[in-house]
Chains A and B, each alone.
Chain A
Amino acid sequence: MDVAQLKRQLIAFTELLYREGFLDEQFNQLQQLQDENNPNFVAEVVTLFFEDAERILNELANNLDQQSVDFKKVDAHVHQLKGSSSSIGAQRIQRVCIIFRTVCNEKNVEGCLKCLQQLKHEYALMKSKLETLFNLEQQILAAGGPPSI
């Protein structure tokens, strides 16, 4: 596949991610901040997010597994995840977090478990989409594609 084709694929794929709500404007902000001095900035932030998210998802599973659920802890974790997902533009994850907090406020364990499932699902989707995105970019570079302005 030639560079032009790859680029078209990348643009189409990125547009799809925005359209389906996987990404929002904040992701674009991060891309704008990337430059020659920090060529891996977006990938680095996203990696930090993945690590953070996985840690929080594990904590949440733990919290909700307790005999007596500490809803304050659950809320604190969801709030954290909501914050970091919004900082990278992970819109769908952020939206689930908002619902999660409402359910948590109502002290509804079943509801919280459902939200956690949803979060895990969205997170897995997001991770796979972003990996595809970074993969395409790598391919373009490998094919000797010059960065467009």
Chain B
Amino acid sequence: MAAAGAVLRQKLPGNMDICGRSGKGSPEFHVLAVDDSLVDRKVIEKLLRSLSCKVTVVESGSRALQFLGLEGEDSSVGFDALPVNLIMTDYSMPGMTGYELLKKIKGSSAFREIPVVIMSSERILARINRCLEEGAEEFLSKPVKLSDVERLTRYLLRGEADQVSEFRKRKLPKTCDFEFSFPSSPLSNDSDSSSSSRSSSPLPKRCKSV
């Protein structure tokens, strides 16, 4: 089935290599992805690899913590490996939810600075708020698309830490007490926006009645 998919597929633009070495000696972007679904793990891994990111995929929150060295006896597995630049986790998982994982990461002095993105097929306002309040960088709707991940890695790579923390402080307005269609990224789509425009991005506009 060597080039079967190529019969119909569109080629990705040639400049999609975002996370890889730029040739100037910049390190690879390492993403830790957490999802209990085998299908989703395979897809997210491919998505990230297609952007030339280094990927570690695990099937649970506790595995993720083990990898980072926050849990279990195998404390240095992750530490000696390539440092993690981003954690993407599914929300609904048996055992430890993505939210619980987020709390543990944000509660750790060693890892709290790592951006954490939550993925979920359910766009529940209270859930989104809870995650953002706990420090999640973004809440992505599943199924996750290439464009979502590309945008994510692009702005994280730019290292705009102040803009990122500006966003984190924003909560969705409590007046929106109904479920609404949440865009795949709470951030505005214009990737060149300055910090002031991003922080003034009017989130209330995204609330719409069901």
Contacts and interface: CB of A to CB of B under 8 A. Distances in A.
Interface of A: 7, 10-11, 14, 26, 28-36, 38-45, 48-49, 52, 76, 79-80, 82-84, 86-89, 134, 137-138, 140-141, 145, 147-149
A11 B39 contact: no
B143 A49 contact: no
B92 interface: yes
6 contacts: A10-B8, A42-B5, A83-B40, A83-B121, A87-B143, A88-B39
Contacts of B11: 149
Contacts, number: 106
A23 to B, nearest CB: 11
Interface stretch (B19-27, B43-51, B164-172): B43-51
Contacts of A83: 37, 39-40, 121, 142
B196 interface: no
Nearest to A76: B94
B146 interface: yes
Interface size class of B (residues with CB under 8 A): 20 to 34
Contacts of B4: 39-40, 42-43, 134, 137-138, 140-141
A33 B46 contact: yes
A106 B146 CA distance: 36
Contacts of A140: 4, 7
Contact of B9 (A32, A89, A138): A32
A147 B6 contact: yes
Given A26-B143, A41-B46, A149-B11, A84 B40 contact: yes
Given A87-B43, A87-B142, A149-B11, A31 B37 contact: no
A38 B46 contact: yes
Best-buried of B8, B42, B121, B142 by chain A (most CB within 10 Å):
B8
B46 A137 contact: no
A14 B145 CA distance: 20
B181 to A, nearest CB: 15
A141 B8 CA distance: 13
A41 B94 CA distance: 27
A119 B202 CA distance: 42
B3 A45 contact: no
Best-buried of B10, B40, B43, B94 by chain A (most CB within 10 Å):
B43
Given A33-B46, A33-B50, A83-B142, A11 B8 contact: yes
